[in-house]
Amino acid sequence: MSTLVSRVASSSTPVSVQVANPLSGQKFSDHALLISILTLGLFGAAMIGSASMAFAAENYNNPFHFLTRQLIFLSIGCVFGVLIFRLPLAVWEKYGPHLIITSLVFLTLVLIPGIGKEVNGSRRWIDVGAFTIQVSETVKLFVIVYLAGYLVRRGYLVQTTFGGFIRPLVLICVAGGLLLLEPDFGAAVVIVATAIIMLLVAGVRFSQFLAMVAVLGTVGTALVMTSSYRLRRFSSFLDPFEDPFGAGFQLTQSLIAIGSGGLTGTGFGNSVQKLFYLPEAHTDFLFAVLCEELGMLGALFLIFLYCFIVWRCFRLAKIADEQGNRFAGFIALGIGSWIGLQSFINMGVNLGILPTKGITLPLMSYGGSSAVVFAITFSLLLRVEWELRQNAHLALHARESKSTGGAA
């Protein structure tokens, strides 16, 4: 996206855009992206139903408890998604600063006893009656929207001054600090890493980028070394079979499930590890159950879906760059980076190549907040595609009209 970098450097304010036609010779209507998203959501619901059936029957006397709720969440997400799709990107750009401030307010509220709900030692949810809202899920999206708008408004300053570079990082680091107090280390890592990618593409000075990575790496190491809980998780990830019934229990059960699947799996619904051996089988470790039941082929199919969606995001970012629509480009880049990072981290944790942390598999793992926020996120992405397609068609029509007028 070198062109995007050069355009950011040339002006710190939005400019009038002469739209090029990067889509000549092809029909730009991303039905493939929509089908991939719908497939991912329905595939996730099916796997949640399989992974949670025994647990739901034991604890709720209804084997379809989690499947039913996930389908409700997805339906709610689709309703919100339709409404979000109708919002122009200019509205998101205008209210980005308000969204990040709102995120900080809710991240603070969730830490207050009586408002924030504590589960398994973590205070990440706000109870609103029949449902709970996981604030960190909305923060991920709002940070991308805010940073995309900031890079459009202050892109030149980000590249040329330390102040322009550090201002958005302050807010993002405050959000990350509040997430660590919950604690939600995984969400903090995803948010900061996504912001780093967006800043790097925006053309931040490489010396500043290296300094930022060094500082964040030092802080992350200090957080791990000074917390017995995080240190225990990190050490168990290095050798989970050293304490297979203690700190390494969850990871060893995950590895057993993945190893049992082989090439084609044991068959849908036939997982053994989900029968009270593997904790969080329908949430953070759904990928392990998928590997056991559908084997390596099922895992590769899921990885292909994520790769295709991430590639589509980056393709939209490139098209937005060619059209000069910097905000749309940064939104697509941020969403693609977020989806790629979070899915890689979740699968890496399940496979034992990353330390264990609570982070969902996008649109696959059970969770109301996650399902609704990802539905909204993908609707925003489809809005990006729609506006870029409209711009391309308008530009093509204008050129054809000009050509016809010139011929006459």
What span, in angstroms and rounded, lies between the C-alpha atoms of 198 and 19?
Answer: 23
The model's pLDDT over 287-334, given as tens digits with 9 standing for 90+, comes to: 999 999 999 999 999 999 999 999 999 999 999 988 889 999 999 999
Q: Where are the domains of the chain?
A: 2-11+28-386
pLDDT band at 47 (very low <50, low <70, confident <90, very high): very high
The pLDDT score that the predictor gives to residue 140 is 93
pLDDT band at 134 (very low <50, low <70, confident <90, very high): confident
What span, in angstroms and rounded, lies between the C-alpha atoms of 340 and 165?
Answer: 24
**Which of the pair, 158 or 332, is modelled with greater confidence?**
332
The pLDDT score that the predictor gives to residue 220 is 75
Q: Report angle CA 158, 161, 163 to the nearest 5 degrees.
A: 85
pLDDT band at 165 (very low <50, low <70, confident <90, very high): confident
pLDDT band at 229 (very low <50, low <70, confident <90, very high): low
Residue 390's Cα: distance from chain center in Å?
Answer: 26
What span, in angstroms and rounded, lies between the C-alpha atoms of 84 and 80?
Answer: 6
Q: Give the closest residue to 96 by CA, choosing from 330, 319, 313.
A: 330
Q: Give the closest residue to 171 by CA, choosing from 200, 151, 146.
A: 146
The pLDDT score that the predictor gives to residue 11 is 43
Q: Over range 259-270, report the average pLDDT.
A: 92
Q: Give the closest residue to 172 by CA, choosing from 210, 134, 198.
A: 198
Give the least confident one: 121-125, 267-271, 402-406. Answer: 402-406
List the structure tokens of 360. Answer: 């969902």
Model confidence at 4: pLDDT above 80: no
The pLDDT score that the predictor gives to residue 395 is 78
